Structure 1
Amino acid sequence: MTTPTTQVTGRSGQPRDPRRELGAALSRWASGSAAAIGVVRVLDRHGFGSVESGQLIAGTPGGEVSGLLYRGALDDSAHPLAAEAAGGAATVREAHVAEASALAAGLACAGGATLVGHPLPAGPAAALGAALEAARPAALLSTVDGGAVLVLTGPDLSEEHGDLGSVTAAGAAEARALLRRGSTTTERVTAEGVDLLVDVWVPVPSMLVVGEGALGAALHAQAGLLGWSARTVTTLDDARAAVADFTDADVLVLLDHAPAFDALLLDGIAHGRGFLGALGSRRTQAARRERLLGAGTTEEQLAGIHGPVGLDLGARTPAETAVSIVAQVIALRAGRAASALAGSTGRIGG
């Protein structure tokens, strides 16, 4: 059985997002012989203090479990429910946690939750697992009794797996509206008179700054304002190890101009995941481009490297340059051209 509280690290030695581990488990189980996987979600709650949205446990009929609900405080109720759900039963169950147990788990106070356990067919489970493991946007929708299930994936949740019957289109529209808020959320919504439980997962970018200097510090400050994580490495080996663990939500900003770091960009191109940005003058970019072409990189692959990195904002200071870089990342993640709002006719704010 997978221990939900075990911290897993990637090749870089940094802790991996538990949702990636959950995604890997879903993908593995879905590719096996199981017709369905059981999932347990929070339908309603009271107490516990502040808790993260998008909490999910998944399990197999044999008792394997991955994921986490409220720091493990609900394991005694959630784990058996996951096994029942994997066997085909959709069940709604009340769970309560006493003060001492809640505090021991790291929660603020005692509380209770209404849990829904339901089967997740192999096809939708595989799609959800792939999205979570790669840190791509995803949504899981079900009727509140777990009788019908829909998984949405893709940057704008346009890919549908499963269905909710006559309310599939309306439910998907509700999930896409929640996606535009830009944060992971769990909501009860009503679509054409049907009560649905919707979990939407929006990956939070993680920035890797390679090289030191005032711009690196400014990038850390911008990442903090946005709620992103950021770290700096200075050696090629550390940088390559970090990029080997990249997901679609990760961001590389290469500050070091040394030719040795071309290997890092080649790694990023080969993996095809995340945002690859490289600082440097036009002359530096041209020299780097020639070296990468000489190493066998194609023009199409070079288009995946954003260099000079950042939007043309007229930035002059490190702080302004950092703004231009994170603005480019935000625009690309949203599929926007980063033009002035006054000159556009589309939706404002996502």
Structure 2
Amino acid sequence: MSTSATSSAARPPADPRRDLGAALRRWAVTGGPGIGVVRVLDRHGFGSVESGQLVAGTTDGEVGGLLYLGALDDSAHPLAAEAASGTATVREAHVGESSAVAAGLACAGGATLLAHPLPAASAAALGEALETGRPAALLSVVDTGATLVLTGPGLEEPTGDLGGVTAAAAEQARALLRRGATATERLDVDGTAVLVDLLVPVPSVLVVGEGALGGALHAQAGLLGWSARTVTTVDDARAAVAAFTEADVLVLLDHDPAFDAALLDGLAHGRGFLGALGSRRTQAARRERLLAAGVTEDALSAVHGPVGLDLGARTPAETAVSIVAQVVALRAGRSASALASSAGRIGG
């Protein structure tokens, strides 16, 4: 085991949504320029594109976020500045075949863009959720630009107001969250058109240590649409954990006591899922070391070790399934019991 300087493998994957969150928070706390946001109300063409895409900007000309790989920048950036000045606008934008393909899209297309002001309090709440990897929803009345931001694991924390449809629109957004995926939907809420961008963070798995299980975890993460990376040094592990959001997952394979430092860092900032592999004896020894380092009994419950659900896993692939299943269950607030023995909702 070595403790070399942080390598590129320890750096988190590029996350435009996290960068946008940081920008929104910064703009909100300065109390200076107005903030506007541009969203996709409707589209045709472009091929397969992700939901929940946003561009935000200020009256000072700063811009963050991305719409369709930047193909709509010429339309979206000026709209963001207009919206930051206090004007809500619906406008059509079109991208030709050559420009769309050059940006990385499958084909030409068009979009109906909704641009509206984003109050500082709403920008701060949305920005914090995006930057720290928490679920968030941005809802707006299409005709007026009135805005509501919902954050928290169950979107239980509101900022803003949609008037008389606030409660009903929030409930519809929470129903969308049960699907477990980012979505852009145009809702009819008691006769009022509401655009909702539901932004669900995608987990990123940090594997610390080498071995067949690491490869199996990468494969399983790929099947779920999650990202995964492996580090093998204490410095790299600590650097990666220090940058964790709520959506990140640590799976510690290496039993060297020096890697306790990564767990201590994770417990200190309280973000993400912390899992550690090892026998009962290994877990007991690790537990005693963490207690000796000042971790409380209550805090230790955040370290999942042995990591994974009791599925009777025998192979690396089966063990990887048990680990990601535990992550999914905890993110959903479920007990991971058999569906047949449960009287609750089947699926999210």
Q: TM-score range by the shorter chain?
A: over 0.9
The equivalent of 2:3 in structure 1 is none
Structural mapping, 1:108-187, within 5 Å: 108-187=106-185
Deviation at 1:115, TM superposition (A): 0.8
**What SS is found at the alignment partner of 1:199?**
strand
Count of equivalent residues: 342
Please give the per-residue CA displacement for 1:33-81, whole angstroms capped at 9, x wherever unaligned.
1474100001111111111111101111111110111111111111111
One-letter identity of the residue aligned with 1:29: W
**Unpaired stretches in structure 2, ≥5 consecutive residues:** 1-6
Residue 257 of structure 1 aligns with an amino acid whose one-letter code is H
Mapped contact 2:52–2:184 kept (Cα < 8 A)? yes
CA contact (8 A) 2:22 2:131 kept: yes
Aligned equivalent of 1:265: 263
Give the 3-state SS of the residue equivalent to 2:210 in structure 1: coil
Distance in 2, Cα, partners of 1:181 & 1:62: 38
Alignment of 1:293-304 (within 5 A): 293-304=291-302
Task: Summarize deviations over 1:114-161 as a string: whole Å, max 9, x none.
Answer: 111101111111100000001110000111134211111011111111
C-alpha deviations, 1:286-343, integer Å up to 9, x for none? Answer: 1111111111112222111111111122222222221111111011000111112122
Partners of 2:9 and 2:230 within 8 A in 1: no
Deviations 1:81-138 (A, max 9, x none): 1111111100111111122211211111111111111011111111000000011100
Counterpart in 2 of 1:46?
44
Quote the residue 1:278 is aligned against.
276
Please, which of 296, 309, 312 is the counterpart of residue 310 of structure 2? 312
- Counting only pairs closer than 5 Å after superposition, residues 208-223 of structure 1 correspond to structure 2 as 208-223=206-221
Provide the secondary structure at the position in 2 that maps to 1:284.
Answer: helix
Kept after mapping to 1: 8 A contact 2:86/2:117: yes
| Partner residue, 1:4 | none
**C-alpha contact (below 8 Å) 1:277/1:305 kept by paired residues:** yes
Q: 2: CA distance between counterparts of 1:22 and 1:217?
A: 32
Letter paired with 1:320:
E
Match of 2:192 in 1: 194
Partners of 1:113 and 1:146 lie apart in 2 by 19
Q: Is the 8 A contact 1:310 1:327 kept in 2?
A: yes
CA contact (8 A) 1:116 1:145 kept: no
Give the secondary-structure state (helix, strand or coil) at the position aligned to 1:172: helix
Question: 1:35, 1:121 within 8 Å by CA — same for their partners in 2?
Answer: no
Distance 1:199 1:111 in 2: 20
Deviates more, 1:169-178 or 1:274-283: 169-178
Q: 1:234, 1:41 → 2: CA distance?
A: 41
Unaligned runs of 5+ in 1: 1-8
Q: Residue 102 of structure 2 aligns with which residue?
A: 104
Decide whether the 8 Å contact of 2:40 with 2:114 is kept in 1: yes
Selected match of 2:62 from 61, 64, 84: 64
1:207–1:231 CA contact under 8 A, matched in 2: yes
The match for 1:245 is 243
What corresponds to 1:55 in structure 2? 53
Secondary structure, aligned partner of 1:109: coil
Q: How far apart, CA to CA, are the structure 2 residues paired with 1:225 and 1:106? A: 23
- Given that residues 11 and 245 in structure 1 are in contact (C-alpha distance below 8 angstroms), is that contact kept between their aligned partners in structure 2? no
- The Cα of 1:12 is off from its aligned counterpart by 3.3
Shift of residue 11, structure 1, vs aligned partner: 9.7
Contact preservation (8 Å) 2:203, 2:226: yes
SS of residue matched to 2:10: coil
Identity within the alignment, %: 79
Contact 1:98 1:110 in 2 (8 A): yes
- Letter aligned with residue 50 of structure 2: E
CA RMSD in angstroms, aligned pairs only: 1.6
Alpha-carbon contact 2:52-2:182 (below 8 Å) kept: yes
CA distance in 2: counterparts of 1:193 and 1:161, whole angstroms: 22
Letter matched to residue 127 of structure 1: A
Task: Tell me what 2:323 maps to.
Answer: 325
Hey, what's the Cα distance between the residues in 1 that align with 2:9 and 2:149?
A: 30
Q: Does the 8 A contact of 2:137 with 2:149 survive in 1?
A: yes
Once residues 307 and 196 of structure 1 are traced to their aligned partners in structure 2, the CA distance between those partners, rounded to angstroms, is 44
Following the alignment from structure 1 to structure 2, what is the Cα–Cα distance between the partners of residues 172 and 80?
A: 30
Secondary structure in structure 2 of the residue aligned to 1:247? coil
Structure 1 residue 282: Cα displacement: 1.0
Distance across 2 between alignment mates of 1:249 and 1:333: 9
What residue number does 1:234 align with?
Answer: 232
TM-score of the superposed pair, with normalisation by structure 1: 0.94
